[in-house]
Structure 1
Amino acid sequence: MRPSLLSVSLALCLSSTAAVAAPEGAPRDFDQIVVTATRTERAISDVPNTVDVIDRARMDTLLVRDIADLFRYEPGITVGSSFGRFGLNDIRIRGLGGNRVRIQTDGIAVPDAFAIGSFSSANRNFVDLETLKRVEVVRGPTSSLYGSDALGGVVSFVTKDPSDYLRAGKTAHFGAKIGFEGANEGLFAGATAAFGGERWSGLVAVSHRQGKETENMGEVGGAGSARTLANPQSFNGRSVLGKVVFAPSEMQRFKLTLDASEDDIDTDVLTSYGLQTLTGATNTQVLGDDHQSRARITFGHELDALSSALADSVDWQVYRQDSRTRQDSVEVRRVPSAGAVIRDRREREFHFDQRSVGLQANARKAFETGNVQHAIAYGIDVERTETKQKRDGRRIFLDTGVVTNVMLPDVFPVRDFPVSDTTKASLYVQDEIAFADGAFRLVPAIRVDHYRLDPEVDTIFREDNPTTQVADLSETSVSPKLGFVWHLGQDWSLFGGYARGFRAPPYNDVNIGFTNFQFGYTAIPNPDLKSETSDGLELGLRFSSNAAYASLSGYYTEYDDFIESTRFVGIDPLSGLMVYQSQNVEDARIRGVEAKGGMYLDAFAPALAGWSVRAAAAWSRGEDRGTGESLTTIDPLNATLGVAFERATWGAELAGRFARRRDRLPTPAPAQNGAPGAAYFESPGYAVLDLYAHWTFAPGTRLNVGVFNLADRKVWQAGAVPVIAATSATRDRYTAPGRNVAVSLSVDF
């Protein structure tokens, strides 16, 4: 994309400066109510952060089925993915992802991600998006309200409630939806039932999904390392959301929630067939069988309109959440040995399980001191999590039938870190101080977090690490924030502020344990790891009227003490082994500009009734402050632009996605033996068009259709492309699907 395309997008975002009245009832995007940014219900126009909201109606229009679909038109938010087997793996906000972004469902953090080696990758993709009524994203450090893991921001999933369906006196609701996705031949079916009376109400939502591998635009098939087509894959998953609400009065509600999902994926990893140059073995079969599940039960209570000096409203919830990841791998090989060929079958099992129990309580109090209004929010979060990880396996010699648990460098079973109990306890306080009848709002906040790690050394860990000394960890962090919103007039406002973020040292980095005598190295714990921290500044300008809305913001964030896992630190003089250890070594700087806006064109000419335009763009730069190298997680300049037409029973939208060439990559390897260093692949810029349409052809019945990549362009999206050589013959592996279609049909009674 040429820079002029960004100029066009920004012009569309900021073109309207007059408060032209739109027809009555026209939507005002910045009037949407959000909770995540301040832990209080506030319109976006009163929030001192850059916040994105995607509601249920928008998800249905865009035929959202996974997190990649969810953020397709949100520049600055990237969904990472890997080729081969494990697929979508993280959400990156402004270049920061993984466990450095807090992802939560109804305020409760989803389980951690963890990966080791080629056969193990537990991701955080645990939420069935069909159970959601909206998604809120807060960009930038948010530890002052959410503690550790909110270093890069917060993605908040909010599930449906019975009250979302039982309005205007309705006592019952039933809805069903079916859908199809062409990119992976996926099928979806779901149903929702809600009931309600004077005091009791409830909801049950169930869904099932299945499909095959997501296509790309590779052309080389067959088996072996030259393959660029996606590996054959089949998946199926299901979820259930159940809620029961008891309201003894208009002032209070008790809520019991059950939220569970599971997914199964089978992969024939054809790209790993053939000769393996590192081992000399020839793989004749490589299969993956992956299972992931999560179950959460929550009991909560909300009280409003209290007559208390301490609080006007209070809510609390207790919860338990269990997640399990099991990944089984089978590798059948031929290994040359002493003039003969040994046939063996290698079976590997990877387990990563977490159980969390916790309590959250929040209170709010509003009062005045003279002409100044205060809205105090405060609360506590307490959570205890047990994390277990294990790798197991066996080697079967097919010619003799001998079975052994020795699969060098491992003697199974092994743990790469001990069973770990982590306790997080925190207290936060925030005051929204309004001056001049709310024209200027100052928002100071502070949070104190105490983090404790208690490892448990069992037989499995000790047998694999006989001399490793594990360590406890206890750390307290203070995260301040100061934000502001200044309404300059009826339509304009300034916003911004300072925020500090932190991430406590992860259990697997503190107490990693792994020794490989065959290759001469060992990984040792580091009890002296410090928390990763960030200091961020943001300044933005918003415009909102009945005719248009726009936001333009700039940010600058410095990150200190990033943890580099298993870094080489020297040679053990006694054993002669190379020693690796996780250490605080990296400092980074990320800065950027983001813009978002839209216009309702009927406010300018009655003939344009029903027409609207929306656009967004993000530009960012990120460097390692120590080396000056560019951060590979930073996206190139990208933007989106959509033109929509809406009528009472039908509508359509043409949406474009644009990106510049990815040219900020690490310095190529130095030349050796007179040969130049290998340059890295710079994925080219692109412009992709998608077309959506919807039709309500009967009351309560809606058909949604989407055609993606209309021109069938070959596209490499930044989040899916690793750092590879420019001359790589397999770079087409990382291409997005070509032209494809999705459709859904929903019926509501």
Structure 2
Amino acid sequence: MRTKLFAASAVAALLLSQPALAQASDATDIQEVIVTARAGTEAQRKVEASYAITTVSEERLRLQSPVSVAEVLRNVPGFWVEASGGVGGANIRARGIPIEGYAAVGLQEDGLPVQHDGGLGFLNSDFSFRMDETVQRVEVVRGGPSSIFASYAPAGVVNFITRKPGDSFEGVAKAEVGDYGLYRGDLWLGGPVAGFRVGLGGFYREDDGVRNPGWTGNKGGQVRFSIGRDFQHGSLDFNVKHTDDNNIFYLAVPLTFDSNGDTAEIPGFNANYGTLAGPETARVALRTNRGTREFDQTRGSDLQLTQYTLTGRLDLGGWRLTNGLRFRTSDLVRTGFYPNTPASAASRISQDVARVAGGVSGRLTYLNGGAAFDVANQNGTGLVMDAFLREQDITLDEWVDDLRIQRRFDVGSQSHDVAFGVYFARDEETFYQQGAAVLTDVRENARLLTLQVLNASGQVIATTTENGVSRYGSQFNNAEGESQTWALYASDEWRITDELRIDLGARWERIEMSGRNERSSTINLGQSASLADDQAISGAGVYDALDREFDGWAATVGVNYQFQPDVGAFARYTRAFRLPSLGDFITNPTNTAPRTQQFDLAEAGFKVSKPAFDFYATAFYSGFDSQGFTETRFDQATNSFVSRTEFAATRAWGLELEGQARPTSWFDLGFNATLQDPRLGDFIFNERVARVGGACPLPSDTPTAVGDCLRSRDFSNNLLIRTPKVSTRIRPAVNLLDGRLRLEAEWQWYGKRYSDLANTTVIPEYQLINAQVRYNISESLAAYAYGTNLTNEIGLTEGNPRAGQFVSGEAGARYYLARPELGRTFRAALLYRF
């Protein structure tokens, strides 16, 4: 049905087509105006901003053709982006701020939040947004005043600015194919209809996924309709967007080391294109005390979202009143195959033999077909793993409203461009999570195993798995809640002279939350002779109530001086904050003591924007007095997850560089780079460790009365996890045939990182080489070609977080898990402008 709708829309676009001018080049315009993280009534150019901002133009988006929000953010210095997971669920970090996902970076669409809290517990805001041709350009603010104008955004704001219809009909139709089964179409058209501005657009695509699981990995699209009208003293615009999309979420793959100690593939597993997910784990029946429920991995991240936006502007007597109202209703189902550290088949068999009285030995066979598993060398390694099938069902209904009044005052030779705003958000969320452990081999498209325990006579006395499941009910959460947020904010762009401006801002915010979270208990389902259902975590039918309130405030002061209209410098200090949110409670019932996080941010920058080159350099500092670090580690002995949280101060110093040189009309060079030193402050704590043979493992351990030991840890001044000290991106390009042909190469380099706070497990440095080509066939028709990771680099973006993020359990292991960049791909597209 969705395919037919898209085809009909494409035909309609062609019927309305008319000649159009050729697309603009990627050259920077020094008159580029910015709108994000400010509330002034007068236009402000990028080179005049008193904070660091990166802009991604329409042509840059087309030349990159990003498949996800994370791919867009790779254009931004200061951001560490892990885009290896697919369309949604990316890990990002900005300026050494140790908060992952989008919990500290706000995503906006036309200045309103895509999602009030971008890190709402398994519902990152990048799941809620899709890139297509309805997006015209992107503005990314790093730190600066983002905390003044957005909630949950101390690290920055990403604003996707959509197309607005003009005075005549125009549009874009694009068809794209790729070598991983990709077929995609994008459409946008807009223009005047009966005095209104009307626009229609969206996309539809299908592909197998770069890491093919054996089913269609990505399938779906979205459609957007807008209508607006300008009046004598203002305007009114309405926009509705519906997204219906399924995306596979890629997780870590098994790896090893070569003779030089470098990252290497294990036998039979392609690190660039392989995935452990496969047909045997696609659909599995999972038993609970509430009946049997099918786990359907083919759904991936299955998003159903409808968003309504109403914005208006009214200018009267020198005052400007603006209001943006947005309502969204959404349902996200996330299913995934979460691997754990590979183990030798012999050790895994021994683990279960020890659980069964009279057990002497064991054997493994394949669930489907019953073939014996070669304990010594199956698949070239003899490895098995207890992987987790996890599903989260999340519904979110959300209202946000941002009311703002603005005016510019002249006071003698000076001026004040002031704004006062009221922000409101109401969230209603439900969250249900279940999981089960399955025993599989270690290969591409892993297969399910059966483990049997034998007695001294070689007779089967126990089967520890059932249909491949080694533990039903490995996880359980069932919660619901609602929150209301109010914020008051104000800003003043105080122009002292033509060259000197001081920017001030402040925000106060309060959240009230209520809801409930079902307690869980471990029970014996008692429905089979296997051990798989003996320790299932299920709901207890008892609920803990949630009724909490928090508030916080932010303030910022920035100074900008323009030496020339196209040369300036700025400095800024911001006291930022992040409140606890609804997701902090209903997705984590053990989180009984959350706190408002407070950050100190400072930056100073130099800006030049000339016809021949642009150059922006920003030095920054990020400081936190008490940042929570949480890990959810897989415990092989209990076949379950163990969670813990510790608090520490962090500090980060850094330098961001970006720009473009245009020495001739036929050559230009774009670049960005980040140099930073993100470290823990004082971080000393104790952890419990098990005794070995009745004694503590280390002489320095302290025995406790409850039978374990305490071990002191000191990670002070260690580097923060997964954030490189140096990363660069260089993009040389040539323009040939009077600009009709553009050839770009792109080199990305990322320095080494650590996967744990103990800094014991190194994630090595790596590089990526990409290329893009654009050829203007005519004024209206252009062809594009894209090649990514041309050298098939096995570049690791993260280690295995389930092995422990305080101290990795895979340190020094021969076999380990990590998530590499996606393998080499090629795509081609035709774009028609009318």
Counterpart of 1:177 (choices 163, 174, 177) is 174
Structure 1 residues 33-64: Cα deviation after superposition (integer angstroms, max 9, x where no partner)? 11113134421112111101112221112222
Matched ranges for 1:394-405 at <5 A: none
Quickly say closer, same or farther: Cα 1:94–1:296, change in 2 above 3 A: same
Which of residues 622, 641, 650 in structure 1 aligns to 2:740? 650
Mapped pair 1:714 → 2:825: no
CA distance in 1 between counterparts of 2:725 and 2:29 reads 27
Provide the rounded CA distance (Å) in 2 between the counterparts of 1:86 and 1:198: 38
Q: Shift of residue 385 of structure 1?
A: 0.3
Task: Give the whole-Å Cα distance in 2 for the aligned partners of 1:596 and 1:585.
Answer: 34
* Pairs within 5 Å for 1:429-444: 429-437=490-498, 439-444=499-504
Runs (5+) with no aligned partner, structure 1: 1-24, 216-228, 273-282, 515-523, 569-577, 602-607, 670-678
Task: Map Cα deviations across residues 232-273 of structure 1 (whole Å, 9 max, x no partner).
Answer: 7621121111101122x243221110112122246899979x
Aligned-residue RMSD, C-alpha:
4.2
Q: Check conservation: 1:380, 1:425, Cα contact below 8 A.
A: yes
Report 1:277-296 matches (<5 A): 285-287=280-282, 288-289=297-298, 290=300, 291-296=302-307
User: Who is 2:52 aligned against?
Assistant: 50
Residue in structure 2 matching 1:423, options 484, 501, 505: 484
1:95 and 1:108 mapped to 2: Cα distance? Answer: 26
**Counterpart code for 1:707:** G
Verify: 1:683 aligned to 2:758, yes or no.
no
Contact 1:135 1:157 in 2 (8 A): yes
Query: Which shows bigger deviation, 232-241 or 66-75?
Result: 66-75
The within-5 A match list for 1:148-187 is 148-163=151-166, 166=167, 170=168, 172-182=169-179, 184-187=180-183
C-alpha distance in 1, partners of 2:588/2:766? 43
Which residue number in structure 1 is paired with residue 229 of structure 2?
246
How far is 1:662 from its partner? 0.3
Q: Aligned equivalents of 1:135 and 1:564: distance in 2? A: 31
Corresponding letter in the other structure for 1:552? A
2:397 aligned with 1:355: yes
**Structure 2 CA distance for partners of 1:297 and 1:57, relative to 1, 3 Å:** same
Paired with 1:330 and 1:661, the residues of 2 have a C-alpha distance of 29
Match of 2:660 in 1: 598
The verdict on how the C-alpha distance between 1:580 and 1:65 changes in structure 2, with shifts beyond 3 A counting, is: closer
- DSSP 3-state at the match of 1:436: coil
The one-letter code matched in structure 2 to 1:235 is: N
Cα distance in 1 for residues equivalent to 2:632 and 2:668: 52
1:355-403: CA deviations, max 9, x gaps? 101221122211111111111122111010011101357999x999xx9
Aligned partner of 2:186 in structure 1 is 190
Moved more, 103-112 or 316-325: 103-112
Aligned partner (choices 47, 70, 75) of residue 72 of structure 2: 70
Contact 1:238 1:263 in 2 (8 A): yes
How many Å separate the matches in 2 of 1:330 and 1:28?
44
Q: Secondary structure at the match of 2:128?
A: coil
Q: Which residue of 2 aligns with 1:7?
A: none
Deviation per CA, 1:614-672: give whole Å up to 9, x if none. Answer: 22211111111122221013223122222233365513233332425305665768xxx
1:187-226 CA-partner distances (Å, limit 9, x unpaired):
21122221304621211102101112225xxxxxxxxxxx
Relative distance call for 1:180 and 1:48 in structure 2 (3 A) is same
The answer to whether the 8 A contact 2:623-2:652 is kept is: yes
| Distance in structure 2 (CA, Å) of the matches to 1:48 and 1:501 | 17
**Amino acid in the other structure paired with 2:734:** F
Assess if the C-alpha contact under 8 Å between 1:61 and 1:692 holds in 2. Answer: yes
Alignment of 1:459-608 (within 5 A): 464=539, 469-510=544-585, 524-526=590-592, 528-565=593-630, 585-601=647-663, 608=664
Give the C-alpha shift of residue 586 in structure 1.
Answer: 2.5
Cα displacement (A) at 1:538: 0.4
1:58–1:658: structure 2 CA closer, same or farther, 3 Å change rule? closer
What is the SS of the residue equivalent to 1:488?
strand
Give the TM-score taking structure 1 as reference length. 0.76
For residues 61 and 549 of structure 1, the distance between their equivalents in structure 2, rounded to whole angstroms, comes to: 19
Cα separation, partners in 2 of 1:475 and 1:429, compared to 1, 3 Å? same
Which residue number in structure 1 is paired with residue 199 of structure 2? 203
Cα distance in 2, alignment partners of residues 100 and 134 from structure 1: 22
The aligned runs of 1:260-275 (5 Å cut-off) are 260-265=242-247
In 2, the alpha carbon distance for the partners of 1:329 and 1:692 equals 32
SS at match of 1:60: helix
Cα pair 1:636 1:661 within 8 Å, conserved = yes
Instruction: Indicate if the aligned counterparts of 2:219 and 2:246 stay in contact, CA closer than 8 A.
Output: yes
Distance (whole Å) between structure 2 residues aligned to residue 270 and residue 558 of structure 1: 31
Q: Specify the alignment match of 1:609 in structure 2.
A: 665
5 Å matches for 1:137-152? 137-140=140-143, 142-152=145-155
Whether the 8 Å CA contact 1:77–1:94 is kept in 2: the answer is yes
Deviations 1:299-319 (CA, angstroms, capped at 9, x unpaired): 221224x214xx2x2221222
Q: CA deviation at 1:690?
A: 2.9
Cα deviation for residue 703 of structure 1 reads: 0.9
Cα pair 1:650 1:693 within 8 Å, conserved: no
Distance verdict in 2 for CA 1:378–1:90, change over 3 Å = farther
Q: Which residue of 1 aligns with 2:258?
A: none
* Structure 1 contact 268–286 (Cα < 8 Å) conserved: no
Q: Is the 8 A contact 2:26 2:57 kept in 1?
A: no
Does structure 1 residue 635 correspond to structure 2 residue 718?
A: no
Whole-angstrom distance in 2 between the partners of 1:707 and 1:665: 29
Task: For 2:249 and 2:496, locate their aligned partners in 1 and report how far apart those are by CA, in whole Å.
Answer: 60
Q: CA, structure 1 residues 294+485, in 2 after alignment: closer, same or farther (shift >3 Å)?
A: same
Residues 800, 817 of structure 2: 8 Å contact kept: no
1:164-198 deviations in Å (ceiling 9; x for gaps): xx4xxx2x23431101233x432211222213046
* Aligned sequence identity (%): 17
**What code does the residue aligned with 2:820 have?**
T
1:618 aligned residue: 674
Query: Within the alignment, does 1:235 sit opposite 2:218 as a pair?
Result: yes
Q: Tell me which of 321, 325, 345 is aligned to 1:318.
A: 325
* Cα deviation code 1:66-118 (max 9, x no counterpart): 234323443322332566x99652333224432121112223323456798xx
Partners of 2:112 and 2:324 within 8 A in 1: no
CA distance in 2, matches of 1:132, 1:614: 22
Give secondary structure in 2 for the equivalent of 1:124: helix
Tell me if 1:101 matches 2:163. no
CA distance in 1, matches of 2:88, 2:579: 27
| SS in structure 1 of the partner of residue 60 of structure 2 | helix
> Matched residues in 1 for 2:513 and 2:757: separation?
38
For residue 317 of structure 2, the aligned residue among 307, 312, 322 is: 307
Output the CA distance in 2 between the equivalents of 1:268 and 1:642.
Answer: 28
Give per-residue Cα distances to partners, 1:596-630, cap 9 Å, x unaligned.
122221xxxxxx33322222211111111122221
Counterpart for residue 447 of structure 1? 507
Aligned partners of 1:355 and 1:386 also within 8 Å = yes
Write out per-residue CA displacement over residues 676-710 of structure 1, whole angstroms, 9 at most, x where no aligned residue.
Answer: xxx52341343x44332212212311111223344
Summarize the Cα distance change of 1:746–1:490 in structure 2 as closer, same or farther, 3 Å threshold. closer
Give the AA of the match of 2:830.
L
Change (3 A) 1:475 1:694: same
- Report what 1:520 is aligned to: none
Question: Residue type matched to 1:367 in 2?
Answer: F
Number of residue equivalences:
646
CA distance in 2, matches of 1:558, 1:379: 28
- Residue by residue, what CA displacement relative to the aligned partner does 1:102-142 show, whole Å, maximum 9, x if unpaired? 112223323456798xxx77663322211211111111254
CA shift for structure 1 position 419? 1.1
The aligned counterpart of 1:367 is 409
Aligned equivalents of 2:108, 2:240: Cα separation in 1: 15
